[in-house]
């Protein structure tokens, strides 16, 4: 099987690029169609590569569990019948729960804030919404901020956890388009139960035959985002090991490569935990574009590693 790594964990640049080209040139048949329309703008969103990621999921599994949900790009592309979708970030899960329980409220949250912002002083109104979020972190403000902030990069100040991203230069999508997205996203995520949980608790719920897809905060590039501090990957590997012993399938996305093959984070993988490793291309890094003032960086093609316990 040509996608299996040699197990060394240290691919030379040539080997890596060959595999990336292989993935790009010959996309694996996926059981799902691509789904490009985003509900939230979220740094690290996997929506663009979700179809490829899903092509490596087992042909059959029971429940789908996504414990680092973020903007739910993989969940919505997969549209599973039964799923547990969780994240430790409470205001984010409030958005997802409202999508389910009160979609009109979600549409209203967006429409009222957009109306205020577009009625006059765009930046001033944005800053008021940001101040409201920072005084009392909540899903309604977060929803609008992620769609209207600069580069769609919701960023939190290290010192005090305040959301610090300035106003975006773009015009946020109109309320009608957003409302149409709400309907589509509600339909696609109807099988999921949304919960605020640490990943350890979420993965404990996995039973034999379930599939867990993990997309943890990146070790290096994402520690300033989502209020996440240092993320302990070793602990995650232990929890994945427990899942594997219970015959739960686990797929793990991990920061891969940037700048034509340089390894950004080279983590020691526990021996025997993963059976396969594939590379999934995910386009240009939004975070780097943000850091570089919106320039498009031709060399910043990012490929994620996808590690599979099956």
Ligand X SMILES: C[S@@+](CC[C@H](N)C(=O)[O-])C[C@H]1O[C@@H](n2cnc3c(N)ncnc32)[C@H](O)[C@@H]1O
- Give a three-class secondary structure readout of 211-232: EEEECCCCCCCCCCECCCCCCC
CB-based contact 306:280 (threshold 8 Å): yes
Instruction: Select the residue interacting with ligand X from 68, 96, 109, 156 (CB under 6 A).
Output: 68
Question: By C-beta, is 13 or 198 nearer to ligand X?
Answer: 198
Helix (H) and strand (E) counts in the chain: 11, 8
Q: d(Cα 44, Cα 297) in Å, to the nearest integer?
A: 17
Instruction: Select the residue interacting with ligand X from 89, 156, 178, 279 (CB under 6 A).
Output: 89
Determine if 199 is a binding residue for ligand X (CB under 6 A): yes
Least distance (Å) from ligand X to the CB of residue 275? 22
Beta strands in 146-210 (DSSP E): 192-196
Binding segment (CB under 6 A) for ligand X, from list 52-60, 86-94, 180-188, 274-282: 86-94
Spatial CA neighbour of 274 closest among 302, 303, 304, 253: 253
Least distance (Å) from ligand X to the CB of residue 135? 20
Scanning residues 162 to 181, which ones bind ligand X (CB under 6 A)? none
Please report, for residues 185, 194, 223, 265, the alpha-carbon distance to residue 100 in angstroms, rounded to integers and kept in the order given: 9, 9, 30, 37
Classify strands 64-66 and 83-87 as parallel, antiparallel or unpaired.
parallel
Instruction: Select the residue interacting with ligand X from 180, 228, 263, 273 (CB under 6 A).
Output: 228
Determine if 215 is a binding residue for ligand X (CB under 6 A): yes
Would you state the torsion angle of the CA atoms of residues 6, 10, 14, 15, taken in this order, to the nearest 10 degrees?
A: 20
Determine if 194 is a binding residue for ligand X (CB under 6 A): no
Question: By C-beta, is 11 or 87 nearer to ligand X?
Answer: 87
Instruction: Select the residue interacting with ligand X from 5, 67, 172, 281 (CB under 6 A).
Output: 67
Scanning residues 21 to 50, which ones bind ligand X (CB under 6 A)? 42, 44-47
Question: By C-beta, is 80 or 217 nearer to ligand X?
Answer: 217
Determine if 64 is a binding residue for ligand X (CB under 6 A): no
Cβ-Cβ contacts under 8 Å for 85 (sequence gap 6 or more):
65, 66, 69, 72, 75, 96, 189, 192, 193, 194, 195
Least distance (Å) from ligand X to the CB of residue 88? 4
Binding site for ligand X (CB under 6 A): 42, 44-47, 67-68, 70-71, 73-74, 87-89, 198-199, 215-217, 226, 228
């Amino acid at each position: 099987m040509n996608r299996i790594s040699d197990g060394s964990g240290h691919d030379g640049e040539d080997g890596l690029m060959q595999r990336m080209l292989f993935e790009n040139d010959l996309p694996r048949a996926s059981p799902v169609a691509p789904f490009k329309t985003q509900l939230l703008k979220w740094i690290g969103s996997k929506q663009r590569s979700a179809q490829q990621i899903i092509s490596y999921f087992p042909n059959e599994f029971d429940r789908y569990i996504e414990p680092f949900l973020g903007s739910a790009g993989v969940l919505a592309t997969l549209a599973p019948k039964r799923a547990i979708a969780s994240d430790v970030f409470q205001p984010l899960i409030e958005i997802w729960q409202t999508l389910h329980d009160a979609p009109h409220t979600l549409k209203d949250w967006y429409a009222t804030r957009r109306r205020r912002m577009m009625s006059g002083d765009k930046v001033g109104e944005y800053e008021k919404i940001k101040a409201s979020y920072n005084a009392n972190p909540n899903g309604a403000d977060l929803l609008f901020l992620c769609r209207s902030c600069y580069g769609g990069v919701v960023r939190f100040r290290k010192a005090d956890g305040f959301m610090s991203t300035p106003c975006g230069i773009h015009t946020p999508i109109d309320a009608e388009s957003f409302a149409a997205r709400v309907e589509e996203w509600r339909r696609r995520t109807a099988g999921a139960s949304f919960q605020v949980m640490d990943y350890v608790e979420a993965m404990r719920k996995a039973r034999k035959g379930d599939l867990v897809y993990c997309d943890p905060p990146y070790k290096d590039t994402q520690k300033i985002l989502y209020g996440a501090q240092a993320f302990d990957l070793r602990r995650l590997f232990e929890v994945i090991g427990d899942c594997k012993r219970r015959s739960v399938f686990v797929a793990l996305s991990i920061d891969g490569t940037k700048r034509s093959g340089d390894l950004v984070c080279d983590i020691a993988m526990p021996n025997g935990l993963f059976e396969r490793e594939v590379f999934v291309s995910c386009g240009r890094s939004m975070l780097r574009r943000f850091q570089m003032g919106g320039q498009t960086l031709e060399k910043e093609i990012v490929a994620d590693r996808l590690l599979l316990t099956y």
